[in-house]
Structure formats: C-alpha cells, structure tokens
Amino acid sequence: MDVAPLPALLLRVLIGRNPKRTLVRIIVLAIVSLVVCKFVLVPVHVDGGSMLPTYRENGFNFVNRLAYLFHEPRRGDVVAIRLPAGEHVMYMKRIVGLPGETVAFHKGQLYINGKPLNEPYVKLPGNWEHEPEPVGPDHYYVVGDNRDMPWDDHVHGRAARENIIGKVLL
Amino acid sequence: MKEWSIRVILLAAFVALGFWGWHGFFPSPETVIRKRLDKLAKAASFSSQEGLLAKAWNASSLGEFFTLDVQVTMDVPGTQHIISGRDELLQAAVGARSTVSSLTIELPDIKVVVAPDKTSAVVNLTAIGKVSGQSETYLQEFRLRMVNVKSDWLINQIETVRTLSERAVAGISC
C-alpha cells in the first residue's frame, strides 16, 4: 500500500483533490456565512447585567432576525433593540407591555392594565415603583429580568416596533 | 489568458485605484466627520500612565474639536446638567480625568446626516466607556450637531439620548 508523503497528504486535506472546486466551496461558504450572520442569525455578545440571571454577562447568543416575519412580537419574548446610531451595539430586553397597554410597577410587581403579571423569569426581584404608563401604538414596553438594580440604572421603556430587529434565539 | 481579459482586469484595477484615490484626496463630509470623531474618542481616552501635567495637556487638546459656544446637555441617571461654552467643557474634562485613573472610549456606531448645504451635520453615536479596575462597561447614546467652520468640522451641540426613554428627545437638527 502506498503511503502519501505528509506534505502531499496535508495539501490534499486542505485543498482537496480539485483545488478549483474547493475554492468555489470556500467562496460559497463565506457568502452564505456572511448573509446568515447579517440577515438571519446575528451573533451577539451579552454585556451588562440587566438580564440576569436569564442571560449572564459575557455570554454568547444569536438574534433571529426572521422571528417576526409572520407575526408580531409577543409578551415574554426577549428581543434585540437597535439604537439610532447603528447595530454594533443593541439592547437585549424582554417585552412585557404590548401596544395600547398600560405598564406600571408597584413594590416591584409589574402590572399590565392594572392587573399583576406573573413573571417566572424574574429571579432577582426589586421594589420598583412607577406610575401607570401607556404604551403607544407600534411600541412595546421592554425591561430586563434583573429588577434588583436601581430603577435609574436599568435601561427600560418603550421601544418602537421598527427598532426591534429580532428575537434572541437561546 | 486572453489579451482582452487582461485588459479588462487592468481596466477594473485602474478604475478601483482611481475611485480609491479620489476618495482619499477628496473625502466626503461623512468620512471627515467619522475620522474626526474617532480622533476625539482617542483624545478623550487616557491611561493611568499619564502624569498630571500630561492629563491637563491632553484634556486641553480636546478644545480643537468644539466650537467656542458649544452646548452640552447631559441627562443621565443621577445627573441632569448643562455645560455652556468650550472653557466650561474643558474644565469638566480635566475634572473628570482626575476622578478615574484611566478611561477608554470607543465609538462603535456613528451615523452621520449631512445637511444639503454641507455646512452642518447631525450625528447619532453610541459611546462605550471602559474604566480601569471596573468590569462593567458604560454605554451612552449621544446626538451631536456639527458645523463646518473653515473646512473643519466642529461640535456645536451635544445631548444625551435615551432610545427607550419616557421623555421626548429634544430636537437637534441640521
């Protein structure tokens, strides 16, 4: 049995039998990866503790940009929200209030249209107080899961539908 | 390779070179503004290695990025503050440098809208600040108004932005 010398074997593993075909495969793979990462599943690095303990700091995740192609965002969805300047930095928050609803906090409990909302994902409760606030049309009220933070330090509020770019996958 | 294909490749390379050269020698206002803001981020960053004199000198170098009558409206948790004029801004910058040992500022997102007459521009940007010794990074959105003064783009107005804010955002426009 002939044993190919190591460099030739390595070359075949790296380039394949047909270098032209391998080159085409690499180009196709690169294009598909770029398209998927830009328009379908956007890889994100989680920074900050406002979504603790659901999403830990320095975690890695994906945003499904096609999630709301056929239906609108739903309560409980964790979404990525684009900032006016671009998409390198986004907010990652949970939708708690839908368009037309009223959102309030009393002793840390979230109230939607005056009724308390069960939030099993909140493991770090706080004692937030916030007057009832209407959510406008085409807007969603978003907030993080970590309610143990001071109200002012926690970024939350109304996100325009057009700024919600997708649903966090995992 | 046939002669005509070599010519096509050479022509394409020539066009690309011309395009690159044109944009290098005559950058668009948007490109100039982006470069200027990147320089500002570098000038505003400082390390713990800097001595007091260097800190003061580097803080004063920030002045070249602002107009004399610059107005800064800060509305962040715990602070609502208006800074009027370049001198007051530089004083604040020197003061800020004495409170933390080092700071790194990055501007990952910059969106520039230049007015049709190209004399002013509105810039939305996202700034990330990292302070040495702290694992947490600070994120802040800003809206800037920049004006073209003798071919130099200077910052004339700065305000903090809260995308998810309950408050309406004051309007900076070109």
Tell me if B110 and A86 make a contact (CB, 8 A cut-off). Answer: yes
Superfamily of chain region A46-168:
Umud Fragment, subunit A (2.10.109.10)
Query: Would an 8 Å CB–CB cutoff place A155 in contact with chain B?
Result: yes
Q: Would you give the distance in Å from CA B49 to the centre of its chain?
A: 24
- Alpha-carbon span B154 to B132, nearest angstrom: 29
Pick from A7-16, A86-95, B116-125: least confident: A7-16
Greater confidence (B133 vs B33) lies with B33
Query: Domains of chain B by range and CATH?
Result: 28-161 (3.10.450.50)
pLDDT higher than 60, residue A1: no
| pLDDT at residue B168, rounded to an integer | 42
| pLDDT level of residue B13 (50, 70, 90 thresholds) | very high
Greater confidence (B162 vs A111) lies with A111
- Rounded to an integer, the average pLDDT of B29-55 is 87
Active site residue A50: yes
Extents of the domains making up chain A: 46-168
- Element housing B82 (H / E): strand B79-84
| pLDDT at residue B96, rounded to an integer | 79
Task: From B157, B162, B142, B168, select the one nearest B71 (Cα to Cα).
Answer: B157
- Alpha-carbon span B164 to B169, nearest angstrom: 10
Percentage of chain B exceeding pLDDT 70: 94
pLDDT digits (tens, 9 = 90+) for A98-118: 999 999 999 999 999 999 999
Task: From B54, B60, B138, B156, select the one nearest A153 (Cα to Cα).
Answer: B138
DSSP lists the bridge partners of residue B124 as B111, B143
Task: From A42, A120, A131, select the one nearest A75 (Cα to Cα).
Answer: A120
Core vs surface per residue B73-92: b (16+ CB within 10 A) or e: bebeeeeeeebeebeebbee
Query: Would an 8 Å CB–CB cutoff place A80 in contact with chain B?
Result: no
B91 contacts B72 by C-beta, under 8 angstroms: no
Percentage of chain B exceeding pLDDT 90: 44
Percentage of chain A exceeding pLDDT 90: 65
pLDDT higher than 80, residue A3: no
- In three-state secondary structure terms, B164 is coil
Name the residue facing A157 among B125, B143, B166 (closest C-beta): B166
| pLDDT level of residue B77 (50, 70, 90 thresholds) | confident
| pLDDT at residue B108, rounded to an integer | 94
Greater confidence (B165 vs A40) lies with A40
Q: Is B52 exposed, middle or buried (0-12, 13-18, 19+ CB in 10 A)?
A: exposed
Greater confidence (B23 vs B30) lies with B30
Distance from CA of A57 to the nearest CA of B (A): 10
| pLDDT at residue B81, rounded to an integer | 86
| pLDDT at residue A119, rounded to an integer | 92
| pLDDT at residue B174, rounded to an integer | 57
Name the residue facing B139 among A89, A133, A152 (closest C-beta): A89
Q: State chain A's mean pLDDT as an integer.
A: 90
pTM given for the model: 0.79
Distance from CA of B162 to the nearest CA of A (A): 8
Q: Which of residues 93-122 of A touch B (CB under 8 A)?
A: 93
Greater confidence (A153 vs B173) lies with A153
| pLDDT at residue B33, rounded to an integer | 94
pLDDT digits (tens, 9 = 90+) for B98-141: 788 888 999 999 999 999 999 999 999 999 998 877 777 888 99
| pLDDT at residue A140, rounded to an integer | 95
**Which range among B57-66, B105-114, B161-170 has the greatest average pLDDT?**
B105-114
pLDDT digits (tens, 9 = 90+) for A38-68: 899 999 999 888 898 999 888 899 999 999 9
| pLDDT level of residue B61 (50, 70, 90 thresholds) | confident
Question: Per the residue annotation, which of A20, A93, A123, A167 is the catalytic one?
Answer: A93
| pLDDT at residue A2, rounded to an integer | 58
Mutation target to probe the A interface, by most A beta carbons within 10 A, among B122, B136, B144, B163 is B163
Q: Minimal Cα distance from B164: which residue of A? A: A157
Q: Minimal Cα distance from B137: which residue of A? A: A48
